[in-house]
């Protein structure tokens, strides 16, 4: 029950921050939508209408998932960096909550708000392209959540790096662009590539959009792989985070920025 109270408190904090800095939130969303517009209208110049029609679903859904992953990853690193700058890391370690739990609850609260915003951006992407995807809400949201969960594992790793090395903006930039090829891996032709996250979820979303495949119509082994990715990657990220957190505490880095 205490986790519920913590989640509610963090969610209220997130909403107040979004309201207090509403201009920044609007500009951030506008920039992401504008970038999609550049991608879409740029692709119209280099592709024939028939070929563009075949790949438009992939462009919309791939960019939508990428935005969701970037928002999730940035939450971890931004929180650690902000706490370090404000001198709050040591105070958080003295609370009854472990820092990794606080980060997890904050990520969950941010995931709720980011999902709402990301759904609005998906509508904007479809409006810009004039191509409205026939998406069933339960299937879409389930695949969206399971596809993004491995990103929390990467988020924990980045949070640990931020705690240990303070400024990891260059690493975050690399990861930000590394997500794109991971989403495009040909997992349908080479099943062994399913050891990497994101691509399978994007493929299943694309199949749902193009063929109307519903939640219960996907093969069970695909769900098993997707669920394994959603569980194992956050566990791996948490293990790496604990190692980096221990290294930062042993070196007395929590009170210094």
**pLDDT bracket for residue 140 (50, 70, 90):** very high
Mean pLDDT of the chain: 83
User: Rounded to 5 degrees, what angle do the CA atoms 230, 231, 235 make?
Assistant: 125
- What is the average pLDDT across 215-237? 93
The Cα 186–Cα 192 span in angstroms is: 10
What pLDDT sits at residue 52? Answer: 43
**Spatial CA neighbour of 44 closest among 130, 159, 158:** 130
Token pair belonging to 98: 């472990």
Rounded to two decimals, the pTM is: 0.87
Task: Answer yes or no: are the C-beta atoms of 202 and 65 closer than 8 Å.
Answer: yes
Q: Which two tokens stand for residue 177?
A: 């662009």
Query: Hey, is 95 helix, strand or coil?
Result: coil
Would residue 134 be called left, alpha or beta, if left means φ above 0 and alpha means ψ between -120 and 50 degrees? beta
The length of the chain in residues reads 257
Show the DSSP H helices in the chain as ranges: 2-20, 22-46, 49-86, 89-93, 99-129, 137-165, 169-183, 199-211, 220-250
pLDDT of 201 reads 93
Residue 163's alpha-carbon distances to 82, 179, 228, 232, in angstroms, are 11, 22, 28, 22
| 255 pLDDT above the threshold of 70 | no
Q: Among 2-6, 94-98, 224-228, whose mean pLDDT is lowest?
A: 94-98
Residue 105 has pLDDT above 60, yes or no: yes
Q: State the maximum Cα–Cα separation within the chain, in Å, rounded to a whole number.
A: 60
8 A C-beta contact, residue 62 and residue 209: no
pLDDT of residue 20: 86
User: 83, exposed or middle or buried, with CB in 10 Å at 0-12, 13-18, 19+?
Assistant: buried
Nearest residue to 226 via CA among 155, 148, 154: 148
The domain limits of the chain are 2-250
């Amino acid at each position: 029950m205490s986790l519920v109270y913590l989640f509610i408190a963090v969610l209220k904090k997130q909403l107040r921050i979004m309201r207090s800095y509403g201009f920044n939130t609007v500009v951030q969303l506008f920039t992401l939508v504008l970038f999609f517009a550049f991608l879409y209208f740029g692709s119209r110049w280099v592709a024939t209408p028939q070929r563009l029609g075949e790949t438009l679903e992939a462009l919309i859904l791939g960019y939508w998932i990428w935005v969701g992953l970037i928002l999730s990853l940035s939450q971890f690193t931004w929180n650690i960096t902000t706490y370090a700058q404000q001198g709050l890391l040591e105070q958080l370690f003295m609370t009854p909550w472990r820092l990794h739990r606080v980060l997890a609850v904050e990520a969950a609260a941010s995931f709720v708000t980011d999902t709402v915003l990301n759904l609005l951006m998906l509508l904007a992407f479809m409006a810009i392209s004039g191509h409205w995807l026939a998406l069933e809400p339960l299937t879409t949201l389930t695949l969206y959540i399971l596809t993004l969960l491995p990103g929390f594992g990467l988020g924990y790793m980045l949070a640990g790096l931020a705690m240990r090395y303070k400024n990891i903006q260059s690493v975050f930039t690399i990861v930000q662009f590394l997500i794109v090829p991971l989403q495009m891996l040909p997992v349908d032709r080479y099943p062994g590539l399913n050891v990497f996250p994101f691509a399978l979820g994007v493929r299943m979303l694309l199949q749902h959009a193009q063929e109307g495949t519903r939640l219960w119509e996907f093969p069970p082994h695909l769900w098993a792989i997707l669920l394994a990715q959603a569980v194992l990657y956050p566990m791996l990220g948490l293990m790496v985070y604990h190692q980096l957190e221990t290294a930062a505490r042993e070196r007395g880095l929590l009170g210094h920025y």
